[in-house]
Amino acid sequence: MGSKRFVEYLSASVANLSSMVLSMSSGSRAPAEEESAVPLSSINMSEKMQDSERLGGSHSSGDETVVLKRSDHERLCEELESSMAMIEELKRKEREHGRMLKNYDTTLAYVLERNEKEKALLESTIMSEEIERLRSNEYRLKTYIQALKRDLFASEDKMESLRRANNEKIEALSEQAEEIKRMYEEQKRKASCLSNKVAGLESALRVRCEEMVEVVEYCKYLLRWGH
């Protein structure tokens, strides 16, 4: 009767251990483990093996001694070894997942840092290109302004030359006009003198003509009296 109870006790223990392993296995596939979950590293496999060995040999409870059959003992040991293997595999996966998470965190931090550096470098490159473009535009504008200044100075010099030439021409034309006016006045004065002379000559000629007429009449008169 005691042997049967002991077998039932071992079966229940193995079943509980298997259910715990399965629950851990399903929990390890979840995205994140709950804080209340028991980590696999907390399971002490040596104690479980020692308990199974003590149970497989003899169990003393007071004055009662329980003896297991070899077949039951071997079956329980196989189930326990299978559960231990599953737990070890889950521990390995847990360590692997821990390394993966650590590598992921490291990689993520590296990628974020690299992105920040690349962003800063890109911004610096863009700023450098923009500054270079502005400097180039400034140089072109300064060159254009200098060219405009040269053209303006050249235009001012040309206008000054034209103004001096025009002033000289105006002065020359004014002198010519004064000379023509003086010559005109001189010719006018001469014409007036000639006109006065002509008038005097005409008057003298008219007097002479009258005198000649009188002389001719007197000669005719003398000729008539001579015959």
* pLDDT for the residue 223: 81
* pLDDT for the residue 66: 52
Percent of the chain, pLDDT > 70? 69
Is the pLDDT assigned to residue 70 strictly greater than 70?
yes
Spatial contact of 76 and 120, defined as CB atoms under 8 Å apart? no
Nearest in space to 151 (alpha carbons), one of 140, 162, 159, 141: 159
Looking at the chain, how many residues does it have?
227
Least confident of 17-21, 77-81, 175-179, 210-214: 17-21
Is the pLDDT assigned to residue 98 strictly greater than 70?
yes
Spatial contact of 27 and 17, defined as CB atoms under 8 Å apart? no
* pLDDT for the residue 15: 63
81-86 mean pLDDT: 84
Tell me the C-alpha distance between 96 and 43, whole Å: 18
Nearest in space to 56 (alpha carbons), one of 1, 6, 4, 2: 6
- DSSP character for 30? S
Nearest 5°: phi and psi at 64? Answer: -95, 135
- Residue 142 pLDDT grade (very low, low, confident, very high; cuts 50, 70, 90): very high
DSSP bridge partners of 102: none
pTM tops 0.85:
no
* pLDDT for the residue 14: 59
* pLDDT for the residue 130: 86
Contacts of 167 (CB under 8 A, 6+ apart): none
- Residue 84 pLDDT grade (very low, low, confident, very high; cuts 50, 70, 90): confident
Nearest 5°: phi and psi at 153? Answer: -65, -40
Tell me the C-alpha distance between 197 and 139, whole Å: 85
Q: Could you read off the pLDDT of 9-66 as tens digits, one per residue?
A: 656 665 666 565 555 545 444 443 433 344 444 444 444 444 444 444 444 444 455 5
* pLDDT for the residue 176: 92
140-157 mean pLDDT: 92
Tell me the C-alpha distance between 200 and 204, whole Å: 6
